[in-house]
Copies of this chain bind each other. A is one copy, B any other.
Amino acid sequence: MKRLPDTELEVMKALWSTGPDTPRALLEDRLAPFCWAANTINTYLSRLADKGFVAVRRAGRSNLYTPLVGQEEYLAFDSRAVLDRLYGSPRNFVAALAREGMRRGELEELQALLDQLNGGQAK
């Protein structure tokens, strides 16, 4: 697996949010905030198809798009890649975030997750 560039990632995010066999129109809807030309979205979709990230299926006059790589799968891969690139460990990543200043609630959320990951049983 390879890390995706920012724009292609945005397209994947849209696809993940819409599920399989997403019609083109819906996809454009989800991507509307970016104000990309329709052709631009085309290019990103072709590239994603080339890379094996989405399947394109013809349905009548139009196309349906389906993500071939799941969100969970990609996030798992990407998060580890982030560590390898610069941080080395989750600890270092979170430490960097903390230095920048965590936002309201982020720390609590994280603590709650850790509690859960620890199996709930207190030490």
Q: Which residues of A contact B (CB under 8 A)?
A: 6, 9, 13, 72, 75-80, 82-83, 85-87, 89-100, 102, 106-107, 109-114, 117-118
Contact = CB atoms under 8 A, between A and B. Distances in A.
A88 B80 CA distance: 16
Given A78-B96, A99-B72, A106 B90 contact: yes
| Chain B CB within 10 A, most for which of A112, A117, A118 | A117
A2 B90 CA distance: 22
Interface class of chain A by DSSP: helix
The 9 closest A-B pairs by CB, nearest first: A76-B100, A75-B96, A79-B96, A91-B109, A79-B97, A76-B99, A90-B110, A91-B110, A91-B113
B98 A117 contact: yes
Contacts of A75: 86-87, 92, 96, 99
Contact of A109 (B76, B79, B89): B89
Contacts of A13: 86
A110 B88 CA distance: 12
A113 B111 CA distance: 10
